[in-house]
Chain A
């Protein structure tokens, strides 16, 4: 972003990478896949790079409103300085926080999830999707809570999957009834309370019931939880967990 600013250019969209997308080895693959698609579609985009910092979502959900608002205000200062107008992110938690909780603190942007952004590129004819290796594959989509119930985005990721000529199969609990992967509300960063089962196992069972080739996710945390669940069920040889962006990038051999 700083480089573009120095050249007097304003990107079409700021790609908010998020902590997972920046640091987590698995999530970095999603980041790279999404960037490959953006480049293929000739999108002028920027990232904040080292100027990006945690949105504060996990702190807020854990109850630390102070830390959240400090993070929020720092990020808002940076983005307002760059005159950011539109943000795309591959993380539903960043998406929700920036879209819904930043405006009141002075950060007003148009915020879209990467599946919505890709859908809009497709609709505008700036991106074409081919089925490629996913033609006829059974794909089930796991709704991230912070994309689905929290923000009512259910169709964009499904529309994209269907463009792959894949067979989209729904779990018994999907869309507004979708079951959480178990990572939200800062659970990702702690052990679960005592119980008789892990949430991600329960959810992975939902997914495996559909006999999928691929479990599609739209959230780096869901991705981790579902991947762990599939490993727990010893199905990693036959069932892959992939982000919607990875599906599209791979289908187009990017």
Chain B
């Protein structure tokens, strides 16, 4: 009987991790659909950023209420998962609280897990209220309608259920440990500052029932964790993993520095080279001319795609965006959500067509993101500054503008006029180049 338990446990564990690994593989493949970009320079600064921003949550506390609540859940998540190791060993080898031999240290561990679990429950309830009752603007805007809103709440429910199961499991254990004469299989171990108060509910129950409760809670807890692990790939909650690589691979340049397109540099240099032969045959006649800018996810670079999977839709970007705040259609959060949705669509297309993408007549531009959104951006970098995990919605907006202008000549009329002026007379307005110095002699 007990071996059956262990086998079942091993099977569930294998299934849980196996499915998770297959999802991770899909995730990596999708991210690699993006263009190459070198983000391996200056690794010391990159490690530092990851330590500060992801591990240290330095940008979360910019908004203190959400920031502190988030840090509680984050620390709770990291610390309580230490317990997972014990649960796995117990499950595989039929032991019970295998680490109890650590004695006083084990007491401290279990006690801290319990206090954190309680704090997590409180924080998660506060999060739920913020999302569903207080009507904070960034949580009720239209880009969160439907699945994104449900997704956010499912995550909160998951966390409450998992923490409750953890405490119930401990409470039952505590009750069994402290029955007069003890209970076989439940030696005295651990310290239970929170769940001992839950244990009072078991006082009238038969020992058998409490054992059943303890076992059920234990099983549901570990199965729940595995389900949650596999839910990640389908959820905005991926940020708990991807925040780390994403902050590592973030852009290290000053925020105002936009990349210079190398393909354009080559063309411009050729154009300005007086010795270039205008009738020369192309070096490689079969080469596909490079596309300028981005109209679909495969035109973006892999860091931008990693950004899209990392986004947890907190909406700090949109709540600080001048365009969003003044009622324009643009929402930087939606840019990231659209990019991810389209990338998922492309990924599924590849899965369905045995590894190759079959044109579906759709693209990120127009089917997901409209030019109206793209043209509303002031490139002020508020969204980039705000993002707690170093995402840049601005870089996607700029790459899509480049496509609109350089591939489609689809800039708004006044911008075409501005660009014509720069071309003709070296200023965005219609002034004569020769009048540039007139101010010198004016009063």
A127 within 8 A of B: no
Give the size range of A's interface with the partner.
35 or more
Q: Mark B400-419, 1 if CB is under 8 A from A, else 0.
A: 01111110000110110111
Of A64-72, A118-126, A158-166, A230-238, the stretch lying at the interface with chain B is: A64-72
Contacts A65-B406, A194-B328; A54 near B437 (Cβ below 8 A): no
Of B96-104, B110-118, B379-387, the stretch lying at the interface with chain A is: B379-387
Q: Is the CB of B268 within 8 A of A73?
A: yes
Contacts A59-B419, A101-B257; A19 near B326 (Cβ below 8 A): no
A252 within 8 A of B: no
A199 within 8 A of B: yes
Contacts A23-B429, A67-B423, A184-B380; A193 near B293 (Cβ below 8 A): no
Q: Mark A150-170, 1 if CB is under 8 A from B, else 0.
A: 111000000000000000000
Residues in A whose Cβ lies below 8 Å from that of B377: 185
Give the distance to chain A from B320, nearest Cβ to Cβ, in Å: 7
Give the size range of B's interface with the partner.
35 or more
Partner of B378, one of A28, A47, A100, A145: A145
Q: Is the CB of A190 within 8 A of B434?
A: no
Give the distance to chain A from B383, nearest Cβ to Cβ, in Å: 10
Q: How far is the CA of A62 from the CA of B400 in the complex (A)?
A: 10
Q: Taking each of A28, A50, A60, A185, which has the highest tally of chain B beta carbons within 10 Å of its own beta carbon?
A: A185
Partner of A150, one of B264, B372, B381, B414: B381
Would you list which residues of chain A between 1 and 39 have a CB under 8 Å from chain B?
17, 19, 21-24, 28, 31-32
Residues in A whose Cβ lies below 8 Å from that of B405: 62-64
New A-B pairs, 4, CB < 8 Å, besides A151-B256, A194-B328: A150-B254, A150-B256, A186-B415, A193-B329
A212 within 8 A of B: no
B422 within 8 A of A: yes
Q: How far is the CA of A54 from the CA of B436 in the complex (A)?
A: 11
A-B contact count (CB 8 A): 214
Q: Is the CB of B328 within 8 A of A192?
A: yes
Residues in B whose Cβ lies below 8 Å from that of A32: 439, 442
* In the complex, the 9 A-B pairs of residues with the closest C-beta atoms, listed nearest first: A150-B256, A185-B379, A63-B401, A196-B327, A53-B426, A100-B257, A180-B380, A195-B327, A63-B405
A49 within 8 A of B: yes
Q: How far is the CA of A105 from the CA of B268 in the complex (A)?
A: 11
